Chains A and B, each alone.
Chain A
Amino acid sequence: MKISEIISALNLKVISGDKGLKNEVTGGYVSDLLSDVMGNAREGNVWVTLQTHQNVVAVSALKDLAAIIIVKGLAPDNDTIEKSNIENIPVLSTELDTFNITGRLFELLNKK
């Protein structure tokens, strides 16, 4: 599944990193500790987090993640948006909290 399909299925807002919308998704990862994401997320994962610091993009680039979903309508820091456009890693936003967006994402990715 592509990021663009997830965006329309889950009604996500694209904040930045438009050039990465065709990224292929392998699964998801949920964590707010970036050290944990560095250790455990896998290539192509969509990452759900409440962190908005620019390091979310740095970690995503390092781990080749497909996209970042920021929960609860939290606004990413300006540096995060800039870095996301440079790295072509989409930063997406949802008004839902982590529990609810993750439930929907899990259902979507495991449907077929």
Chain B
Amino acid sequence: MRTFRADLHIHTVLSPCGDLDMSPVRIVEEAAAKKLDIIGVTDHNTTRHCRLVRSLALKKGIFVMTGAEITTKEEVHCLAFFENDEKLKLLQDFIDANLPDMLNIPEIFGEQLEVDENEIIIYEEKRLLANAVKKSINEVEAFVHSLDGIFIPAHVDRMKNSIYSQLGMLPDNLKADALEVSRATTTAKFAALHPEISKYPVTRSSDSHYPDSIGQFTTAFFMKEASFSEIRLALAGAEGRKIIQE
């Protein structure tokens, strides 16, 4: 077993807030340059870029966790990851059924573009992805776990779109596989303020919207190989796998 460096929270140009330079090609180049072993594709309320990033990354030996950053009804951002395309499709269906039919205004919120491996624009998402889905955080968590996905409330330390900002405290009945802290803090600092987080594994990621920040904040996974099932074991601290807190 060895340590794998993962940046599990990266936005592509498909997210309204994602920079136009955040094409799948560029993201994979940056991740390779920064010697990351694992990256997570987590656009706001969409999975459309996951497959392309994964196929490009595979050629560079980088493992991709495919999923999305879902905005719950309470406007809490949560990362959700799924093991295969079949489940990823069900996540997309879940989002499509629950995202309001409000149109994006690119001048205000940003472009929502899908590009191909030649960086040609092939699709523009018309619905505003920054919106909240019509499901509570507990309902989203239950959905993710019904498909054996991994559920990680994002940037819990931020006083914007986090569990603590929106819901005041960790809900006692929420089954999170981990909690993510942002670049603004460290696990140790945040645990000093909120000791209750210590019962969860804590990941730290870049939440990149620009190429430069990819890999600036990472989580070290100690495990056998870069795979979904190994990451799940590491999050659970099972069979000798674990997250190494830095």
Residues on A facing B (Cβ under 8 Å): 33-35, 37-38, 51-55, 58-59, 62, 77, 79
Residues of A within 8 Å of B73, CB to CB, are 52
Contact A54–B166 (Cβ < 8 Å)? no
B159, CB-defined interface residue at 8 Å: yes
Partner of A53, one of B159, B164, B165, B171: B171
Known contacts A34-B166, A35-B165; is A53 also within 8 Å of B137 by CB? yes
Q: Bound state CA distance, A103 and B173, in angstroms?
A: 35
The secondary structure that dominates the B interface is loop
Instruction: Please give the distance in Å from B141's CB to the nearest CB on chain A.
Output: 12
Contact A54–B164 (Cβ < 8 Å)? no
Residues of B within 8 Å of A53, CB to CB, are 74, 136-138, 167, 171
Contact B165–A33 (Cβ < 8 Å)? yes
Task: Mark out the residues of chain B between 148 and 199 whose CB falls within 8 Å of any chain A CB in the assembled complex.
Answer: 159, 164-169, 171-173
Known contacts A35-B159, A53-B74; is A58 also within 8 Å of B136 by CB? no
Instruction: Please give the distance in Å from A33's CB to the nearest CB on chain B.
Output: 6
Instruction: Please give the distance in Å from A86's CB to the nearest CB on chain B.
Output: 12
The secondary structure that dominates the A interface is helix
Which residue of chain B is the closest to A59 with respect to CB atoms? B168
Residue pairs across A and B with Cβ atoms less than 8 A apart, 21 shown, are A34-B166, A34-B167, A34-B169, A35-B159, A35-B165, A35-B166, A53-B74, A53-B137, A53-B138, A53-B167, A54-B138, A54-B171, A54-B173, A55-B167, A55-B168, A55-B169, A55-B171, A58-B171, A77-B138, A79-B138, A79-B173
Residues of B within 8 Å of A55, CB to CB, are 167-169, 171
With most chain B CB atoms within 10 A of its CB, the pick from A37, A38, A52, A55 is: A55
Which residue of chain A is the closest to B74 with respect to CB atoms? A53
Contact B173–A34 (Cβ < 8 Å)? no
With A34-B166, A37-B168, A53-B136 already in contact, 17 other A-B pairs whose C-beta atoms are closer than 8 Å: A33-B165, A34-B168, A35-B164, A35-B165, A35-B167, A38-B168, A51-B166, A52-B73, A53-B74, A53-B138, A55-B168, A55-B169, A58-B171, A58-B172, A59-B168, A59-B169, A79-B138
Q: Bound state CA distance, A55 and B169, in angstroms?
A: 7
Instruction: Please give the distance in Å from A5's CB to the nearest CB on chain B.
Output: 28
Residues of B within 8 Å of A59, CB to CB, are 168-169
Q: Bound state CA distance, A35 and B193, in angstroms?
A: 14
Contact B165–A58 (Cβ < 8 Å)? no
Instruction: Please give the distance in Å from A72's CB to the nearest CB on chain B.
Output: 13
Instruction: Please give the distance in Å from B119's CB to the nearest CB on chain A.
Output: 39
Instruction: Please give the distance in Å from B78's CB to the nearest CB on chain A.
Output: 13
Residues of B within 8 Å of A37, CB to CB, are 168
With most chain A CB atoms within 10 A of its CB, the pick from B74, B138, B166, B167 is: B167
Contact A77–B172 (Cβ < 8 Å)? no
With most chain A CB atoms within 10 A of its CB, the pick from B73, B137, B159, B168 is: B168
Instruction: Please give the distance in Å from B95's CB to the nearest CB on chain A.
Output: 20
List of 8 A-B pairs having minimum Cβ-Cβ separation, nearest first: A34-B168, A55-B167, A38-B168, A59-B168, A35-B165, A34-B167, A35-B168, A55-B171
